[in-house]
Chains A and B, each alone.
Chain A
Amino acid sequence: MYDIIGYCEAETVSEATALLAQNPNLRLIAGGTDVLIKMHGGQIEAVELLSLRKIKSLAEIRKAEDGTVVIGAMATFTKVFNDPILREVIPILTEAAISMGGPQIRNIATIGGNVCNGATSADSASSLFALNAQLKLVSQQSERLVPIREFYLGPGRVALKPGEILTEIHISPADYQGFGGQYIKFAMREAMDIATLAVSVVCKLHGKTFEEVRIGLGVAGPTPLRCLEAEVYAPGKDVSVESVAEIGKLAVNSAKARTSWRASKDYREHLVEELVQRALKTAIVNAGGEQLV
């Protein structure tokens, strides 16, 4: 039994925002794989829940006319993984989705919940960072789009204001068209695990040089992060083992890894350097470049 003292559910976003405006104590629940587990662990007590599970429109994934990929916050990881649009245009997100938990968890956990939980280990986060995702936050009064990099404030802390609900995740065509990517989750187990390090890389090539590289990392700091120094370095550089190695080295400068019982700072930084290179090498091939030997 969970320590729940109130429960209500909304069938539309406006109903949800209205309920939330009325009762700021309501805690949103989507798939429940974070909220219920926190209740089990005693981190959340005597809670009043507002369930978003009946808002069908929030589970949709579509491509808008301008090419923006719109992912409803209530889309489950299973849905994200199987979605033909996402598979085609941003496989680094579907790969991230399939790396998360196990099938039963993916069948219920939502991408919106994953993001709003604010964990650096959120399996979708490194890819959403690399894709420059924007988050649509809706309250009874307003609506705003927030870049994902501004959304994560610290461990477990996100930029949701009281009364706001994350409804959609947007990825604009400029951020995925012409890019090749690769996602690597490095964990102790191949399933049912949280990442020791997650690396998501996208790159665009111009002939034999890099036009753009974006690198998202999970569990390399208190929040997911981007490797800006490496990203600034890349444009114009030859696609070569040497430049990839340099990008790997520079990526470490952006990491804010720390030592915990899970892994040491030293080891995580080593993994950043190694796995950024591995991911980038595959991303290059996926972007139409030649395999580096």
Chain B
Amino acid sequence: MAYTVVGKSVRRVDAVAKVTGKAKYTDDFYERDMLVGKILHSPYAHAIIKSIDVSKAKALPGVEAVLTYKDLPRINYATSLPGMIGDVLDDAEDEEERIKFGTAGHPYSLDPSHRDVEDRHILAKKARFVGDAIAAVVATDELIAAKALKLIEVEYEVLEALTSTEAALKEGAPLIHEGRASNVLASGGFAIGDIEEAFKESDHIFEGEYETSIVQHCHMENQTSYAYQDMDGRIVIVTSTQIPQIVRRVVAQALGIPWGRVRVIKPYVGGGFGNKQDVAIEPLNAAMTLAVGGRPVKIELSREESMTDTRTRHAFKFKIKTGINQDGKLIGVHITAISNTGAYASHGHSIAGSAGGKFRYLYPTKALKYDPITVYTNLPVAGAMRGYGCPQIFYAFESHLEDIAKRLNIDPIEIRRKNFVEVGYVDPVSKNKVTSCSIRECIDKGKALIKWDEKKALYKEQSGHKLRGLGMACFSYASGTYPVALELAGARIVLNQDGSVQLQIGATDTGQGSDTVFGQMVAEVLGLPMDMVHVLSTQDTDISPFDTGCYASRQTYVSGMAVEKAALEVKEKILGFAASMTDIPVNRIDLVDQKIVFKHSGESVLTLEQVAMQSYYDLLRAKPITSDISNNARINAIPFGVTFAEVEVDIKTGKIEVLEIYNVHDSGTIVNPKMAEGQVQGGVSMGIGYALSEQLLFDEVTGKALNNNLLDYKLPTIMDTPDIGVAFVENHEPTGPFGVKSLGEPPTITPAPAIRNAVLDATGVSFNRLPMNPQRVFEGFKEAGLI
């Protein structure tokens, strides 16, 4: 389909603001007499607070407030703002009386059984990981706040730290959350067909075990927020978040106050990658401002805090059993998974659920059984991270399938081709339909880009200690959460006097470029140049249309529907207004190049500006042209793609170098190729880190993080990043606005298995545990007798 603006690499709407330093992020705003809030973190992974004495901290000059669990709102405590927190100070020791809340960035559900687990207090009475927030100080400056934290005297009863899922699951293990039957947060997946029958029918049965590690988002901007009470006593929170509407709701829930008493503002955000699809600091920030009479209080997490005290990626352990025929046709797959969610539920079992749900589309089999459990441990809290379970499950399965191909002596690409989904497939669980699929073409393209056949032949005979190999891996994903959760999006457009428009969306741009993409959609529908579309980047829960936020790679597809609708409505109103001005029947005119033209001849009738001016100032007819759309997307679209990688492995040192890597995506129409390419490159880079170097490490006994800083946590630098090739196979997804499907998260999914498979190709050694860092590779080669 031919578009004018959609499909063009127009300049990002915020690029100039960002290269000139004008773009304001949360910490760039300044309120007079802003106080500083700091958090006392538990030094123990699992401990009960026997006593806590804050008197010395309170007495320190410059300290304005000290908060502990005792200061938190009690359940059903009827209160009026302001000054709530101070009023409820008492000696009630029972933690259960305090409000518990869930933090995941999911839309609220009217169905209580579908809500996130509420297992968290703003400040804990029982520490569940090293870093758990125990107390907080509000002071006039950060040094005083830091000093005050040291003056808080806490007596802990230290319990056994359960630092692995094995420890948490063992018989008689202490409970991390009292009142639960075990440390299992949730379990349950799905079963399609009869797996045992399928295994019986299969020519071969293969089994494998795979393990992924805990990694961290490392958005360059740490979590930062500030909060104050406005003149009406409402709590205003300015915060670096992907989900302002959810932050508003969770803060209100955590404080037990009406949701309308909270206002959340999202300025520019320095990256989120899922970590800011969670409510990590805002409830405490709100409590802090309440404790000081509504004065502004800022929380700015340090990098160290951001890396361990917010969220991480769930580590998974998989066992896969696969029945397959001699010709490579998959018959039955049984996947069991143990997901480590850390100390609190956060997104909890949704990650494991999403992994299985999104995996289902790629290789439909007669029988597929998925049995995940999500387990609490005394490690930092795992939450959403780019890919939401898919980097884990596709690493496991694409590694497994590669091993099978090798054993059956089938070409790894052919084995995949034999099993790919076809257009028209209806997923038996979600009932989502695959309405477009170009995975086969993606493979052709990737194969050509990396010169697969040529190099495969070349690398057959290799000697020396540096060996090269090729690998690939495929994925499927989704374009939002339907039918699991609500997919509501909002857009508002106002036609200005000069014929330009303002676009407000509830969807949040956290760096990925959604503001620009939405601007392009509006420009496309209204026939405007980009500089006539003004996109308001800030979301404010008081002002912006309702949208659930930035996650699930949903915005271009889901929020795009609302934007398209809003633009169409504005167009209709413009033409209607023009018709009323000219008496030309509305079906005879169109809006082209900022002009109202006759459809039959293209002859100009009016300028858009004339219509706009009349819409504001005509004494009789004036009625400014606006639209305010909410769209509930009850549909989904499945994107696909593949990573091809070439590696060189130094057998003697265990170092793996990625020589070439290509990601080829089927994401429907690409709205902005240059930005899409950048999005993919960033995702691949994150995937390379996941494959080779990144891992948050913990002391096995104490649960203390060993490398929660950017020196010891090895995210790739520019010198570690190879050229990243990107290609798209565009098709028109019939359900998407302008034919789009999702793109944001998918690039991160398959670099790790592709690299792993390339290492296998080069060396004959299967690495079934991430990351494949030099130490691990050395151990693997030693075990394999290569060194």
B760-782 contacts to A (CB < 8 Å): 773-775, 778-779
Partner of B720, one of A1, A189, A270: A189
Cβ proximity bits B709-732 to A, threshold 8 Å, 1 near / 0 not:
011101011111000000000000
Question: Which residue of chain A lies nearest to B144 when distances are taken between CB atoms in the complex?
Answer: A1
* Chain A 176-195 interface residues, beta-carbon cutoff 8 Å to B: 186, 188-194
Residue A64, interface by CB 8 Å: no
In the complex the two chains form, what is the Cα distance from A189 to B771 in whole Å? Answer: 14
A3 beta carbon closer than 8 Å to chain B: yes
**Chain B residues within 8 Å of chain A by Cβ, number:** 27
With beta carbons under 8 angstroms apart, the residue of B143, B653, B717 that contacts A190 is B717
CA A263 to CA B693, docked complex, whole Å: 13
* Chain B residues numbered 580-608 whose CB sits less than 8 Å from any CB in chain A: none
**Knowing A188-B714, A275-B653 touch, does A196 contact B143 (C-beta < 8 A)?**
no
Are A189 and B693 in contact, with the CB atoms below 8 A? Answer: yes
A271 at the interface (CB under 8 A from B): yes
Interface presence of B706 (CB below 8 A): yes
Cβ-defined contact, B143 with A191, below 8 A: no
Bound Cα distance A61, B778 (Å): 41
Q: Is B653 within 8 A of A186, CB to CB?
A: yes
Does B660 sit at the interface, judged by CB under 8 A?
A: no
A188 closest partner in B (C-beta): B714
Contacts of B143 in A (CB 8 A): 1, 3
Given A261-B707, A270-B787, A189:B653 Cβ within 8 A? no
Chain B: minimal CB distance from A65 (Å)? 40
Q: Check B718–A191 contact: CB distance below 8 A.
A: yes
Instruction: Give the docked Cα–Cα distance between A191 and B693 (Å).
Output: 13
Q: Check: A267 CB closer than 8 A to any chain B CB.
A: yes
State which of A186, A261, A267, A270 has its C-beta within 8 Å of the C-beta of B697.
A261
Residue-wise, chain B 651-676 has the 8 Å CB interface mask toward A (1 for contact) of 01111000000000000000000000
Instruction: Give bound CA distance, A290 to B774, whole Å.
Output: 31
Among A261, A264, A274, chain B packs the most CB atoms within 10 A around the CB of A261
Which chain A residues border B775 with CB–CB below 8 Å? 263-264, 267
Q: Which chain A residues lie closer than 8 Å to B720 at the CB level? A: 189-191
Q: Is the CB of A196 within 8 A of B714?
A: no
B609 contacts the other chain (CB 8 A): no
Q: How many angstroms from the CA of A274 to the CA of B774 in the assembled complex? A: 14
Q: Is B142 an interface residue (CB 8 A)?
A: yes
Contact partner, B711, options A186, A193, A263, A267, Cβ 8 Å: A193
- Contact across chains for A274 and B653 when beta carbons are under 8 A apart: yes
Q: Does B14 belong to the interface (CB within 8 Å)?
A: no
Query: How far is the CB of A114 from the nearest CB of chain B, in Å?
Result: 15
Contact present for A191 and B719 (CB under 8 Å): yes
State the Cβ distance, B103 to closest chain A Cβ, in Å: 28
Chain B residues closer than 8 Å to A274, beta-carbon distance: 652-653
B778 touches A196 (CB 8 A): no
- Contacts A1-B141, A261-B706 given; does A191 touch B653 at CB 8 Å: no
**Distance in angstroms between the alpha carbons of A193 and B142 in the assembled complex:** 29
* Cβ contacts under 8 Å, A262 to chain B: 712
Interface string of A251-273 (1 = CB under 8 A from B): 00000000001111001001100
Task: Using A189-B714, A191-B719 as known contacts, say yes or no to A267 and B773 having CB atoms under 8 A apart.
Answer: no
Check A190–B778 contact: CB distance below 8 A.
no
Q: Is the CB of B716 within 8 A of A189?
A: yes
Q: Is the CB of B719 within 8 A of A271?
A: no
Q: Which of A1, A188, A193, A262 has the most CB of B within 10 A?
A: A188
Contact B717 A189 (CB under 8 A): yes
- Given known A-B contacts A188-B693, A261-B707, A263-B775, A271 and B653 have beta carbons under 8 A apart: yes
CA A186 to CA B778, docked complex, whole Å? 14
CB <8 Å contact, B774 and A196: yes
Residue of B141, B711, B717 touching A194 (CB-CB under 8 A): B711
Residue of B nearest to A186 (CB): B653
Query: How would residues 39 to 71 of chain A score, 1 for a CB under 8 Å from any chain B CB and 0 otherwise?
Result: 000000000000000000000000000000000
**Whole-angstrom distance between the Cβ of A18 and the nearest chain B Cβ:** 30
B 690-702 to A, binary, CB cutoff 8 A, 1 in contact else 0: 0001000100000
Q: Which residue of A lies closest to B654 (CB)?
A: A267
Render A1-29 as a binary contact track against B, CB cut-off 8 A, 1 for contact. 10100000000000000000000000000
Least distance between A203 CB and chain B CB atoms (Å): 21
Q: Which residues from B are CB-within-8-Å of A190?
A: 717, 719-720
Q: In angstroms, how far is the closest chain B Cβ from the Cβ of A239?
A: 21
- A196's nearest neighbour on chain B, judged by CB, is B774
Q: Which residues of chain B come closer than 8 Å to A275, judged between CB atoms? A: 653
Using Cβ atoms and an 8 Å threshold, which residues of chain A touch B717? 102, 189-192
- Per the bound structure, the CA–CA distance linking A240 and B142 in Å amounts to 61
* CA gap between A262 and B693 in the complex, in Å: 11
- B706 neighbours in A (Cβ, 8 Å): 261
Instruction: For residue A143, give the distance in angstroms from its CB to the closest CB of chain B.
Output: 36
Tell me the smallest distance from the CB of B309 to a CB of chain A, in Å: 16
Min CB distance B511 to A, Å, is 21
CA distance A194 to B709 in the complex (A): 13
CA distance A207 to B55 in the complex (A): 78
Say how far B367's CB is from chain A's closest CB, in angstroms: 42
B711:A188 contact, CB within 8 angstroms: no
Distance of A174 Cα from B779 Cα, bound (Å): 42
How far is it, in angstroms, between the C-alpha of A192 and the C-alpha of B654 when the chains are bound?
20
Q: In the complex, which of the residues B142, B655, B787 contacts A1, with contact meaning CB atoms closer than 8 Å?
A: B142
**Residue on B nearest A3 in the bound complex, by CB:** B143
Q: Give Cα distance in the complex from A267 to B142, angstroms.
A: 42
Chain B residues with CB below 8 A from A186, complex form: 653, 655
In angstroms, Cα B383 to Cα A254, docked, is 46
Of all A-B residue pairs in the complex, the 6 with the closest CB atoms, nearest first, are: A190-B719, A191-B719, A191-B717, A188-B714, A261-B706, A274-B652
Apart from A189-B717, A190-B719, A193-B711, 14 more pairs, CB < 8 Å: A1-B142, A3-B146, A186-B653, A188-B714, A190-B720, A192-B710, A193-B714, A194-B711, A261-B697, A261-B706, A263-B774, A264-B775, A267-B654, A267-B779
7 residue pairs A–B, Cβ–Cβ below 8 Å: A102-B717, A189-B720, A191-B719, A192-B710, A192-B717, A196-B774, A267-B779
